[in-house]
Each structure stands twice: as structure tokens, then as C-alpha cells.
Structure 1
């Protein structure tokens, strides 16, 4: 099972991803977690000790040069477009029980797009984990699908888009669907987060009526307290965790 998670910044995308990953782990699954959002820290949210100190792969200059034969930061020129990456999940992953986590990081780029060694290595790595790995793969993406290519997208089983009651979050969901459709990714499920009651559910269903909903996560003060105290959301054992665990059967179907 290969899953990508996206949504507007601040909607709770990484918290949802971490609770889903921990729920899968608790059910006995082996999970490869990919942190593809430079503005988040999935390792900390999962509860990996020292997660904030994990160096993103995009900043590993020696590795990038070794695999692409080009200096990081260079644009154009000659470098390997199919660098070796199949050994990286074992070499570079942080571990938590049955979870392996890789932090991709971001690629600084001027203008639209980037044909550079860093992006080439990251794209090749994502392609490998989606097409060739046999674990469950969960990718915490940016507010988009930056690292997915057309061939990779076809192998993603579902794109999970986290939204909260609000116009900007809804607009982002529509934008993500448009980007996904351009690369052939049409299996999209919506997760409503920070739900205060039936009125919030109704708001999202009304404004996203042509989307399929995976479920709704209640507003949970325990998650705010966990963030303040540096505790993994899953370890709060609150209603949000229970709601995410209940979604797994539908994800599997």
C-alpha cells in the first residue's frame, strides 16, 4: 500500500500522517515513512528520539555528489539522471519499532522547476520507494505533490488530503486535485480535521461535495498540549488517535 498525504500548511497534515503511521505500526505493519515536507518534522511527530536532528537528504552534499556525479546547487550540465538509490532506505532511515523514516528536505530553486542534482536524487528515491519497496509507504507531502512524477503517481494507491473547516483549506484541496489529475492520480480521499461538531462536517461536505471523505477527526485539545510538550500525537491516546485508527479499514479497501 502506497499513500501520499497532502493539504494546506497548518491543517494538521503531519499530525494525521504520524497518527496513521503509528496506527499501522501498532497493527503489525512495516511502514516506510517519507517526510517530503520541508516545513514539517514527521520524525518528531512519530516520536523518534532526536528527530529534530535528522539531516535531510537534500542537504547531504557528499551523498548527492557521489550518486549524481555533480555538485549540489549546480543547475544544468551533466549528471546522472538515474542515480543508485535502492540502498538508501536501509542506510539513511531513522527507526521506531516497525517504522523506517527518511527525511527528504527541500530543494532551493529559482524560477519554476529545478533540473539539479538534489531534485534528481530525491525524485529517483521517491520513485524507488513507491514502485519497488514492499512495505506500506506513507509520504507526508508539501501542500502539493512536488516529489511525485507521472509514472510514480500511477503506483500511489491513494492521495489523502487533509482539510479543516475554512475556505483556504478547501481551495487548497481543489488545487491539489488539479495537480494530481495532471499526472494521472485520481484516487483522492478527504480527511476533515479539527472538527468541532456536526456543523463543521456539514460545511466541508457542502463545499467538497464531489470528493470522497475518508473520515473526520474531532478537535482535540490533547494534540495542542502534546505539541507544546514535545509528545507524539499518537501517544496522547485521545479521540483524534481513535478516529485515525478507525479509518484504516477504509484505507485498505
Structure 2
């Protein structure tokens, strides 16, 4: 299942993303964590040392494109591949449970969780680039990613409604909106609900920094049945954020139960592969007409393969790539 954590800046979505990843990994589940926030803190929340970081996807987009396009005849070069380019017959798909050049090139193992990151702004980006130049790598990867039963992809997204500046918000089976019991927190929830209403996005609210029953009542009144679970202020989590030792056994029982409720909601989600592919194609065509055709000088509508289908066993097991791995990603040119 592909899972997004969204919410107001400072709401705690990075912390809850990391806690869910730790919870799933402790149960022996394959977990891919992706830091797609402009503030790159997911690695630290998972326990990664400050001086260690994954190779940033956003700075090596050409390599990623060249690998994923494979032998797809609709994509003759990486130069005409954009963030919304969908896979087709001949494209390389990547699976969580396999060894492939994407994971070895960009992934780091942190406590049993495979971590990828878009990377932060570089000096060359300042004043000339927006962060969507980084998150485009995540959108492209998710379009080519095959995750099976009992496998989890957890993406820590950008804050607020910024995710709606691209099609990335549609790439998930389940979206968790982290909401503090405040009017500002609720306003972000309402905005996200409004913007995603026509796209079939499954949104659940996770209350965070909840102090008492009044906070729970406030959230219930504001978001109704969308409130799935809530997390209280946690001394062990504060210790983790300060760099002190942390383990899931340190977490309060109520907060551990809330993590269990989140996992149960994910496991109970019914994946709609047809919608996923249809939206992928529609968003690509929309971007092609809006800017990408002009940017590349070609009609990118031709990249849509109407006969492409994800492997039928996607809900049953980890799926091998659509094309055999033959060359290391680092050997490919951008």
C-alpha cells in the first residue's frame, strides 16, 4: 500500500510517518520510507545520524528517468520524460522486495526501513527552482513502483496544500492528514478535503498533540467520521526528537494502539488499480497540454500506452520488474 502523510507545517506528520515506519518494520513488514518534504527530517526521525543521508533523488533525476524508461518505444530518451510520464510496455517497474539499481543507488537502510529522499535545495537551486523539481522524482517513481500484499510505502509529503501543485497527491492508496486540535489545523484539513474531493482520495485524520478529552471532542466536531485515531504528547517522542535513544517499547500504550489503528486502516484499504492508471494518464495529458509539450518540443500524449496494465498479482505478492535488471543505475547517463 502507498501511504501519504500530509498536514499543516509543524503538525507532526514527519514524526508520525517515522513512527508508523518503525511500527511496521518491527512487525517484519517491508517498508519504503520517502522524504518528500522541503524540510528533510524523516531520516533523523527514523534514527539516522545527522551527517548521513541518502543520495538525493531530485539531484539525479536524469539517471532515474533513463533507468525507468527501459525499452519503452514511446520514450526514446530521458530528455522527453517528465515527472508525469506513465509506464508502458517495455518500461522498468521496481518492486519493494527485490534487489535493483534504484534501491542500491538511492536507498539507505535505517533500522529495517529503506529510506529514500528527494534532497533539499542546493545552492544552485536558490532563486531559480521550486521544490516540485525535486518531488517530480517521487511522482515518477511511484508511477513505476509495484508494491505487494503486506508491503508499505510511506511518503512524508510537503506541508499544507502544496501537494496539489502536482499530481502526486493522487498516487496513494491512503492519505493520513495529521491535524492538531486547533482552528489552523482544521482549516488545512478542510482545504485538503475540498481539493481532493473529485479525485477519489481516501483521507483519514490523525489527531496529534492531543492533551485531553476536550481536544478529542474538538476534532470530532470539526472532522466527524474522518477522525481515525489520535496521538497524545509523548515524552519518549520528545526524547527521540532531541536525539536521545528511542525504541517503540518506550512509547505510551495509547499511542502504540493508535499506530495499530493506522495499520489496520491501511490493511483494510481496497486498492483501485483502474483508478490509479486512469488518473495517471489523465494527469499526464493535462501536464502535457499545460507545459510539457512546449518544454520538450514533442507531443507527450503519445507516451500514454492504453494497453498498459500493472501485474495482476500486485495484491498478492511482491512483483519482479517488468524488465530484467541488466545494468547498475550509476553506470547510466543522465
2:155 is matched with which residue? Answer: 139
Instruction: Select the structure of larger CA radius of gyration.
Output: 2
CA shift, 1:208, in A, is 1.4
- In structure 2, do the counterparts of structure 1 residues 162 and 52 end up closer, same or farther at CA, with 3 Å as the change threshold? farther
- In structure 2, do the counterparts of structure 1 residues 160 and 199 end up closer, same or farther at CA, with 3 Å as the change threshold? same
* In 1: Cα distance, 2:200 partner to 2:120 partner: 22
Q: Which structure 1 segments of 5+ residues have no match?
A: 70-77
2:228 is matched with which residue? Answer: 214
Aligned partner of residue 208 in structure 1, secondary structure:
helix
Residue-by-residue CA offset, 1:17-71 (whole Å, 9 max, x unaligned)? 111111111111101111111214111111134575334322x2xx3344558xx
* In 2: Cα distance, 1:115 partner to 1:191 partner: 26
CA shift, 1:236, in A, is 3.6
1:143-222 matches, within 5 Å, as 143=159, 144=161, 146=163, 150=167, 153=170, 156-182=172-198, 184-209=199-224, 211-222=225-236
Tell me if the contact between 1:38 and 1:106 (Cα under 8 Å) persists in the aligned partners.
Answer: yes
Q: Which structure 2 segments of 5+ residues have no match?
A: 67-78, 86-90, 95-100, 269-334
After TM superposition, the score normalised by the length of structure 1 is 0.78
* In 2: Cα distance, 1:146 partner to 1:106 partner: 16
1:101 is matched with which residue? Answer: 115
2:29 is matched with which residue? Answer: 29
* In 2: Cα distance, 1:43 partner to 1:67 partner: 21
C-alpha RMSD of the superposition: 3.3
Aligned residue-pair number = 236
Aligned partner of residue 126 in structure 1, secondary structure:
helix
CA shift, 1:189, in A, is 0.6
After TM superposition, the score normalised by the length of structure 2 is 0.61
| 1:249 equivalenced with 2:264 (yes/no) | yes
Aligned partner of residue 205 in structure 1, secondary structure:
helix
* In 1: Cα distance, 2:49 partner to 2:250 partner: 17
